[in-house]
């Protein structure tokens, strides 16, 4: 059992996101188009690349 790193908010698995979510065109959590607004959820490293994940400006993960 691994406990989550408290410094790191739980981020979605980049490998499972759609390309548009990886490219910050859609919310990383709910896949709604961001349309120029949004906020950074966090950065994750995937296959040697750093992805900055964006989510809706207002909380959407529910
Ligand atoms: Zn969202």
Q: What's the 4 CA to ligand 1 centre distance in angstroms?
A: 22
Q: What is the pLDDT of residues 27-53, one digit of tens each?
A: 999 999 998 889 999 999 999 999 999
Q: What's the 54 CA to ligand 1 centre distance in angstroms?
A: 8
Q: What's the 26 CA to ligand 1 centre distance in angstroms?
A: 8
Judge whether 32 and 60 are in contact, CB under 8 Å. Answer: yes
CA distance 12 to 18: 11
- Reduce the DSSP state of residue 16 to 3 states and report it: helix
Query: pTM, whole model, 2 decimals?
Result: 0.77
């Amino acid at each position: 059992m691994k406990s989550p790193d408290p410094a790191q908010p739980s981020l979605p698995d980049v490998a499972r996101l759609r390309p548009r979510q990886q490219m910050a065109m859609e919310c990383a959590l709910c896949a709604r188009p961001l349309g120029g607004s949004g906020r950074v959820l966090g950065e994750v490293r995937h296959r040697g690349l750093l992805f900055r994940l964006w989510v809706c400006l207002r909380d959407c993960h529910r």
